[in-house]
Copies of this chain bind each other. A is one copy, B any other.
Amino acid sequence: MPKGKLLVLSGPSGAGKSTVVARLMTMRDDVCFSVSATTRPPRPGEVDGVNYFFVTRERFDEMVRDNALLEHAEYVGNCYGTPRDYVAQKLDTGMNVILDIEVQGAKQVMEKAPDAIPVFLMPPSLLELERRLRARGTESEAVILGRLQRAREEYHADFYDYIVINDNVETAARELDAIITAAHCAYDDRKNILKEVE
């Protein structure tokens, strides 16, 4: 059984990451999301180990110290992180693991797991941002430039291997599917087969 691939999926909120991955999961049964560790208390109905790994702040800090997280960040007083062991175990069973993560977290993961495949999911609306801003002609040039600057910063993500444009969920999911399948055909993954005859 070949090991799974780690897919680092970023994109602005509204890009449709959950929808595209849900569609991808109907296409192949060897894909799963990672489960994050968090210091946030569980909400009603949330199950430890399914929605999150719920841990104390002391345990979280220990995981950070032990380099047991592929990335971590703090939002409004709560810590979130990706447990390295959980991901490794899933990959070992052949599952392709998807991390839904923003750009800074993606950079952290790529440093610790350079074999991961970074994919940027882009909402089609952003393609049209400048066109729309200029077309409607109601914004001042300063406002337009400010918005374009923010977009430019948000999308300055040149460490991604792939860009998937979500103008159609089916097409975007098929592209993610192809990226995973192609990754499993990579020379480095299969060269041991060539070596079998050496």
Partner of A179, one of B157, B158, B177, B185: B185
Partner of A193, one of B127, B185, B194: B127
Neighbouring B residues of A126 by C-beta, 8 Å: 197
Tell me if B163 and A196 are in contact (CB < 8 A).
Answer: no
Copies in the complex: 2
Cα distance A164–B163 in the bound complex, in angstroms: 24
Cα distance A165–B164 in the bound complex, in angstroms: 27
Chain A residues touching B, range: 35 or more
Tell me if A155 and B122 are in contact (CB < 8 A).
Answer: no
Q: Top 10 nearest A-B pairs by Cβ distance? A: A178-B181, A182-B182, A163-B190, A178-B178, A151-B197, A162-B185, A178-B182, A155-B194, A152-B198, A179-B182
On A, residues with C-beta under 8 Å from B are 119-120, 122, 126-127, 129-130, 148, 151-152, 155-158, 160-165, 174-175, 177-183, 185-187, 190-191, 193-194, 196-198
